[in-house]
Structure 1
């Protein structure tokens, strides 16, 4: 069973009056310094992910090779050794915001986290059916390596998952794995679903018209795939939260059962000037018209969410 699960917040939560503290965090970048109220993140003294960690991908359902490449290139981009030019922003630069959590948790000897693309498991036969429970997601995640690993389950557009589109776009958590070399380890896992046909207005915004709130025009997806580009947004959020709060006792604010974490503290923010219904001032590809804020491996472009910077207590964006 998962010891900790965090859901990526829907855009509708950003816009709902009853969740005002979420929307005020999203507007933080548009407010003046004089009016900003700091969001106090707490470190709960638990371990963060450290060392060399393999990211294993478990593909459940039908995905085209070109779709799998969008995700695998994103994972590879996290640790790219090629520095961006002076006019470029990169996925690796975005990921470096998580380093600040490590420095604050252990200022005397900060630990390093090195991510790499691990194994990929393709499960196209729907062995567990097309309607999955949370327990079945954990079972699928356990197919990946269970030591020094993050196992990511990605479900295709025709697969329903418990709570998907009703309360979540994805989850992260941890589970006790099998014994390795006589020792039992916890492994971290993530699940993200392709929302293209089920709820793109909730889980693929800003690449699709939102169901609630301001009805601005949707942005052009940088990889020309609304479902997969939406998955990248949710995966990026959950990956940052997995690194900084893998077992439920790392960095978060609020109750453990419904915490604000590194990305969920900044919902709907992708660039400076963001406000409800507007993702922010982004870069635009002059050829395709696609909106993005990060360059990745193999010439990829991605739109990545703002992350909460614990050193400044504000939401940090690439552009």
Structure 2
């Protein structure tokens, strides 16, 4: 993990002066890279200037790529079809959205979060497993369906890409807010 924490300094245009203003470096590791704590306690992590996300395709898809894979714990429903036909990549997209929301709202670990500071629930992690309205444990919610591929999604991206991104906690309504 220490090597991953050092990588962001290589991504800034002014690393001699340690200037990280307005930069969030994203480090993605492939499915064959083992990182301490991956799968056992996290699918990725963030700090002020970086986000790290692991590809869980072969190591722990039931933890880090649900609902596109059978969950390790909880209700055992059929997995959804991944919108980009790649369980590992689509899991990384979900985790990137989660960690980006956390980086923006809680960059120093003392910003927006719920619960104790030692185990904070951030904007997206407060809504774990919720991707659409009507979600409950084992059911991601009512999602959009690509009739051509059978894939489930809730977000339309660049060049017709479809993705599944998590709900975010809305402190005004005190509930999880979804795109669909």
When normalised by structure 2's length, the TM-score is 0.93
User: Of 40, 45, 69, which residue of structure 2 is paired with 1:171?
Assistant: 45
Matched, 1:211 2:83: no
> What is the aligned partner in structure 1 of residue 6 from structure 2?
139
> What is the aligned partner in structure 2 of residue 233 from structure 1?
94
Cα deviation, 1:5-48, whole Å, max 9, x if unaligned, reads xxxxxxxxxxxxxxxxxxxxxxxxxxxxxxxxxxxxxxxxxxxx
> What is the aligned partner in structure 2 of residue 37 from structure 1?
none
Provide the aligned C-alpha RMSD in A: 0.9
User: Of 160, 184, 201, which residue of structure 1 is paired with 2:34?
Assistant: 160
Alignment partner of 1:161: what SS?
coil
Cα deviation, 1:64-98, whole Å, max 9, x if unaligned, reads xxxxxxxxxxxxxxxxxxxxxxxxxxxxxxxxxxx
Alignment partner of 1:298: what SS?
helix
> What is the aligned partner in structure 1 of residue 170 from structure 2?
309
> What is the aligned partner in structure 1 of residue 156 from structure 2?
295
Name the one with the larger strand percent: 1
Deviation at 1:147, TM superposition (A): 2.5
Query: What are the ranges of 5 or more consecutive residues in structure 2 without an aligned counterpart?
Result: 13-19
Whole-Å separation in 2 of the counterparts to 1:147 and 1:158: 32
Q: Size of the alignment, in residue pairs?
A: 173
Alignment partner of 1:153: what SS?
strand
Deviation at 1:206, TM superposition (A): 0.4
Whole-Å separation in 1 of the counterparts to 2:10 and 2:86: 27
Alignment of 1:187-226 (within 5 A): 188-226=49-87
Query: What are the ranges of 5 or more consecutive residues in structure 1 without an aligned counterpart?
Result: 1-133, 175-187
Alignment partner of 2:126: what SS?
coil
List, as ranges, runs of 4+ consecutive aligned residues in structure 1 with deviation greater than 4 Å: none
Cα deviation, 1:290-315, whole Å, max 9, x if unaligned, reads 00011011111010100001221110
Whole-Å separation in 2 of the counterparts to 1:173 and 1:251: 14
Deviation at 1:258, TM superposition (A): 1.1
Deviation at 1:141, TM superposition (A): 2.2
Structure with bigger RCO (C-alpha 8 Å, 6+ apart): 1
User: Of 16, 19, 25, which residue of structure 2 is paired with 1:151?
Assistant: 25
Whole-Å separation in 1 of the counterparts to 2:117 and 2:59: 29
Whole-Å separation in 1 of the counterparts to 2:43 and 2:140: 18
Whole-Å separation in 2 of the counterparts to 1:248 and 1:221: 32
